Amino acid sequence: LAKTDLAIASRYAELVKDAALREAIFGRIRAEHQATVEAVLKITGQAALLDGNPLLKRSIRNRFPYLDPLNHVQVELLRRHREAAAAAGSDERTRNGIHISINGIAAGLRNSG
């Protein structure tokens, strides 16, 4: 949960062209995220996520300035890929860029790609 950023997630949601569908699904994601954060905070007795582990909290927050641009690039690459696939097909450079961005984001989050 501490690694999530709903502002970034909303950029990915914008890739869904059907606005009603996008809002229905992303609205549920936002609500579930909020409910989950509230439950974790209630269980842990903390005021904010990772208050009990300030070193990890700082480590995660310090990565966001580097990850945010990668996320924005990935959203753009996904948009281009979808548009090209609907027309004549996505080019190899776009697909490679998507794969590289997946690995870069995973490395920055310290999750597997």
- Three-class SS of residue 87? helix
What radius of gyration do the chain's Cα atoms show? 17
pLDDT mean over 87-100: 89
The reported pLDDT for the residue numbered 112 is 64
Residue 81 · residue 94 · CB < 8 Å: yes
> Average pLDDT in the 89-108 region?
92
Convert the pLDDT of each residue in 21-78 to its tens digit.
999 999 999 999 999 999 999 999 999 999 999 999 999 999 999 999 999 999 999 9
51: Cβ contacts below 8 Å, ≥ 6 apart: 44, 57
Q: Quick check: 40 and 31 in contact, CB under 8 A?
A: no
